[in-house]
């Protein structure tokens, strides 16, 4: 039987991220709620919620941690060609709820979804408070792909992405990375690595280094990073 600390509704103190289990990797605590106050407290410590519909809320901080340093972004030849062709219109924060709901759709390879209705409502509230953001790709007036995440200080914590057209989510990701780089964000948290993220330049780093980067930038002033009145040049 796995034993982890249990959070009460009025306790916003998380155990140290280093105390997370090795198997399953990163499982730190359970319980609590998805209030804005708790979510902000979690992300500031490199902790995020992940659980399935029939589970209690579970909190994670895996080691190693998958991240992407903006200067290490990889753009394949085929993706560069798509960028040059400008097939998609890219928008920021236009329809956050639609993006997260599309991300929540069950995926055949995963057999379900971890983005529950409670998660959707909680992150929409974060968005309303200017903490959660999305990048969207549109084609012929229809939303074709996008991603969302949490931005605190000068750290962006990526959550999920979706795509209805080939490369639609990758285009959104490239624009996100270039936008964050232009605003001096040193790192994007990708949580857990996978081949898709690795193809874009994400890699794993020790939790200790991840936490040091958060500590150095989580209280930095992001300026007008999310008053997006332009589309960053992708350099393609």
- Per-residue pLDDT, averaged over 130-143, amounts to 96
Rg (CA), the chain: 17
pLDDT digit string, tens, across residues 37-63: 999 999 999 999 999 888 899 999 999
Please check the confidence at residue 165 and state whether its pLDDT lies above 50. Answer: yes
Backbone angles phi, psi at 208, to 5 degrees: -60, -45
Q: Is 174 exposed, middle or buried (0-12, 13-18, 19+ CB in 10 A)?
A: buried
CA 209 vs. chain centroid, Å, equals 18
pTM of the predicted protein model? 0.93
Any alpha helices (H) in the chain, and if so which ranges? 36-44, 77-85, 96-104, 117-128, 168-182, 195-199, 207-217
pLDDT digit string, tens, across residues 191-207: 999 999 999 999 999 99
| Cα 38 to Cα 9: distance, rounded to the nearest angstrom | 9
More confident: 175 or 229: 175
- Per-residue pLDDT, averaged over 26-47, amounts to 97
Please check the confidence at residue 230 and state whether its pLDDT lies above 50. Answer: no
Q: What pLDDT score does 2 carry?
A: 80
Domains and their CATH numbers in the chain? 6-62 (3.30.70.3550), 66-217 (3.40.630.70)
- Per-residue pLDDT, averaged over 122-138, amounts to 97
Q: What pLDDT score does 179 carry?
A: 95
**Distance, first Cα to last Cα, the chain:** 52
CA 234 vs. chain centroid, Å, equals 20
């Amino acid at each position: 039987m796995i034993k982890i600390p249990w959070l009460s509704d009025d306790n916003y103190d998380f155990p140290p991220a280093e105390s997370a289990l090795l198997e399953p990797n990163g499982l730190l605590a359970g319980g609590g709620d998805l209030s804005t106050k708790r979510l902000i407290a979690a992300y500031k410590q490199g902790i995020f919620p992940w659980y399935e519909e029939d589970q209690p809320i579970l909190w994670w901080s895996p080691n190693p941690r998958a991240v992407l340093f903006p200067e290490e972004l990889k753009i394949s030849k085929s993706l560069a060609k798509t960028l040059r062709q400008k097939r998609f219109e890219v928008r920021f924060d236009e329809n956050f709820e639609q993006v997260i709901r599309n991300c929540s759709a069950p995926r055949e390879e995963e057999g379900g979804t971890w983005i529950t209705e409670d998660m959707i409502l909680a992150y929409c509230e974060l968005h309303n408070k200017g903490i959660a953001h999305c990048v969207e790709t549109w084609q012929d007036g229809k939303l074709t792909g996008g991603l969302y995440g949490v931005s605190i200080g000068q750290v962006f914590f990526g959550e999920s992405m979706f795509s209805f057209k080939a490369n639609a989510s990758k285009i959104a990701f490239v624009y996100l990375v270039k936008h964050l780089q232009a605003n001096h964000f040193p790192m994007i948290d990708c949580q857990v690595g996978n081949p898709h993220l690795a193809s874009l330049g994400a890699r794993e780093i020790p939790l200790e280094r991840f936490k040091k980067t958060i500590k150095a930038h989580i209280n930095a002033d992001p300026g007008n990073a999310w008053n997006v009145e332009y589309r960053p040049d992708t350099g393609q």
